[in-house]
Structure 1
Amino acid sequence: MTQRLSTNSDLDRMPTEEDLGRLQFTTILYYLQCTNPDNGLVRDKTQIDAPASIAAIGMALATLPVVVERGIIIRPFAAKIARRRLAFLLSCPQGPEPDASGYKGFFYHFLDIETGRRVWQCELSTIDSAILFAGALTVAAYFDGDTPDEIEIRRIANELYERVDWNWACDNGLTLTHGWRPENGFIPYRWRGYDEGLLLYFLGLGSPTHPLPPEAYAAYTESYDWRNIYGRELLYSGPLFTHQLSHMWIDFRGIRDEFMRDHDSDYFQNSRHATYVHQEYAIRNPKKFVGYGKHCWGFTASDGPGWIKKTIDSVEREFFDYVARGAPFGPDDGTVSPWVAVASLPFAPEIVIPTIRSFSKMRLGMARLYGFKPSFNQTYPLESSETGWWVSPYHFGIDQGPVVLMIENYRTGLLWNIMRHCKPVVVGLRRAGFTGGWLGD
């Protein structure tokens, strides 16, 4: 596989439909190979002894329809994978104890990959739990057959979702908090203003047991920041993944809430503008980082060279570790994430495909196991790297899903079509005030 992609003729023509399929396949292998076969928990990253990530588990669930439709695993076996994974999560202890797996239906961010219990005194994460529930609802909607496994998938997925107390997570306010710790209570940050938290509100509003009030969504959108950037009018959020996460499941083309109706736009068009903003920022390259340009862009939450200051070519540079990078207002340290460019494929294929082609010519592992390395920094020299500059040594479970799912949505719209039949998502969108398009009036 690697040899086939290494010739000049292949590199010049990439990526074709076949190449996108190959990238999707190599990327999806993460969820097949980095999963504990005893319980279905998925490693956060490829680092040895990494714990399980709740968000990675949710994305692994969401990719199961892809592995079936692409002929990677037959449907009955994929159903067994989903059933086992969901059943283990349902059996994990919930309660206020500091070593439980979750509380009030939510889960801790990181779990021991063997026992499923909390590690590192990490937070009970509302957003990572939401990604898990989105994955659970995906398999519940997709596996709609009458076999014992598929019936059980729907039962367990719905039970996991319906036991979540969304109002508790608001901590007596209108908006959802970022999370909670048994040691000191709720995290003093809330999901307000446009970001990846959009998904949280649809799931919370759609709950048949503990639904958020519509006022919660109004409070979330109240601090939206509409801007003109590089001549483009858009709802601003710096990291590119915030413009993608909800779109992995929801087709926003033509459906609008009150805010988007007032601005004669929709969230799909907004993400298209954001994708172009990232490219334009790289073209302008105000901080003169190495490599930035028309076909080298994509700034998001990612791994980085480390918290260090370094003088390079007489310029003192400050570099970061894992942080939410953004454009055009930063933070920015020269780190680019190929996966987040790929995940914008449905929004702007005319600029994403040439960018994938450019990344494929770099030694970033496109044709290797798990696909593109998640981030790199050409400004940061590193002699031990085969490229001569820093490349992330790990793959992350939460970076694989957007590549797999957004390539599939671009190719077939599979996840979008599945979730149109997911009642909680449809109810959540309607309660948030969305109308038009496939939702109707």
Structure 2
Amino acid sequence: MSRATLAALLGFAAAACASNHSVGPPPPDTTGQGAFLDTLEQRTFGYFWDKTNTANGLTPDRWPTNSFSSIAAVGFALTAYPIGVERGYVTRTDAAARVLTTLRFFWTARQDSNTTGSTGYHGFFYHFLDMSTGARYSNVELSTIDTALLLAGVLTCQSYFDNTGDPSETEIRALAESIYTRTDWQWAASSHPPAIALGWHPETQPQFIQYDWKGYNEAMIIYILALGSPTHPADTAAWTAWTSTYTWGTFEGQSHLGFAPLFGHQYSHVWIDFRGIQDPYMRAKGIDYFENSRRATYAQRA
């Protein structure tokens, strides 16, 4: 696991955006920044390791104020644990134990359409959960994007903990597969197919949020996971529907897909190296999604 990956967890995308492309100024000289990056990495990992509830693996949305758990934060925590092993912050055994606790919770937690007491429905999870019980916090939505960020962390651990002779790591891989394949992307796209809805509430009519994931933003990871599902895949037309609402523009001298907040250009890249990967839209622009995010980073820094 690389330093750039962990830096991306904090939103320091510039650390991961060095490229041979000619657009934009050269990367800044990072000589002498090693100590800062080492501290940044260790303290970032420390947040996830120290503040997560060790009984169920739930990570708080914020700290030091009292907080509910964010399932997206759990996804980033699951991503950070293997990095912590590689950097020597914790042992592989301890990290595997933490991951196993987390995955056992999400696999066995209650899934139904009741308004209270459940953790999710159709394989998706509520945006925020009670830190102790793991039940839905208040009346928050069942969130497709936050579930996707959680799943990305789950699948990271499935790939990393690959020791076939270790019972804990074997269980991690099996649980990760079960959690991912339970997620019903077809149900999530049933309100306005083939697009995937932002979320769902059990107590409202209509129950699905009447907005879908369209236009370029952090939800690219949703469609990648949905299209790749071996059990409940999204319609193959979903990606075309997703890209059909893109907007392209020039911002601070950089031409790239329009989405103002930088995190939308970062989140999916935490887990996927998009260098050299093009869909028809990007092929027509002559770049890839990595270069697109690189340009967005330079525009933010201008």
* Superposition TM-score tier, normalisation by shorter sequence: 0.7 to 0.9
Residue identity matched to 1:224: Y
Q: CA RMSD in A?
A: 1.2
C-alpha contact (below 8 Å) 1:256/1:267 kept by paired residues: yes
| Residue matched to 1:83 | 100
The structure 1 residue matched to 2:77, chosen from 54, 60, 66, is 60
Deviation at 1:233, TM superposition (A): 1.8
Higher relative contact order (CA 8 A, sep 6+): 1
CA distance in 2, matches of 1:49, 1:98: 23
CA distance in 2, matches of 1:35, 1:212: 32
Deviations 1:229-261 (A, max 9, x none): 233221111100000000000101111111100
The structure 2 residue matched to 1:180, chosen from 200, 203, 209, is 200
The structure 2 residue matched to 1:20, chosen from 32, 37, 53, is 37
Deviation at 1:86, TM superposition (A): 0.5
Q: Going by fraction, where is helix more abundant, 1 or 2?
A: 2
C-alpha contact (below 8 Å) 1:111/1:118 kept by paired residues: yes
Alignment TM-score, normalising by the size of structure 2: 0.86
Deviation at 1:16, TM superposition (A): 2.1
Following superposition of structure 1 onto structure 2, how do residues 88-167 of structure 1 map, counting pairs within 5 Å? 88-99=105-116, 100-146=118-164, 147-167=166-186
Deviation at 1:26, TM superposition (A): 1.1
Question: SS in structure 2 opposite 1:218?
Answer: helix
| Residue matched to 2:17 | none
Deviations 1:23-66 (A, max 9, x none): 11012111111111111111111143311110001110011110
Deviation at 1:199, TM superposition (A): 0.4
CA distance in 1, matches of 2:259, 2:106: 33
CA distance in 2, matches of 1:230, 1:90: 46
| Residue matched to 2:21 | none
Question: SS in structure 2 opposite 1:98?
Answer: coil
Confirm or deny that 1:170 pairs with 2:170. Answer: no
Following superposition of structure 1 onto structure 2, how do residues 12-411 of structure 1 map, counting pairs within 5 Å? 15-99=32-116, 100-146=118-164, 147-172=166-191, 173-184=193-204, 185-280=207-302
Deviations 1:348-395 (A, max 9, x none): xxxxxxxxxxxxxxxxxxxxxxxxxxxxxxxxxxxxxxxxxxxxxxxx
> Percentage identity across aligned positions?
45
Residue identity matched to 2:94: F
CA distance in 1, matches of 2:250, 2:50: 44
Task: Report which stretch shifted further, 127-136 or 46-55.
Answer: 46-55
CA distance in 1, matches of 2:253, 2:122: 45
Question: SS in structure 2 opposite 1:228?
Answer: strand
Question: SS in structure 2 opposite 1:233?
Answer: strand
CA distance in 1, matches of 2:32, 2:113: 50
CA distance in 1, matches of 2:67, 2:93: 30
Alignment TM-score, normalising by the size of structure 1: 0.60
Aligned residues: 268
CA distance in 1, matches of 2:64, 2:115: 25
Larger Rg: 1
CA distance in 2, matches of 1:229, 1:119: 39
| Residue matched to 1:406 | none
Question: SS in structure 2 opposite 1:167?
Answer: helix
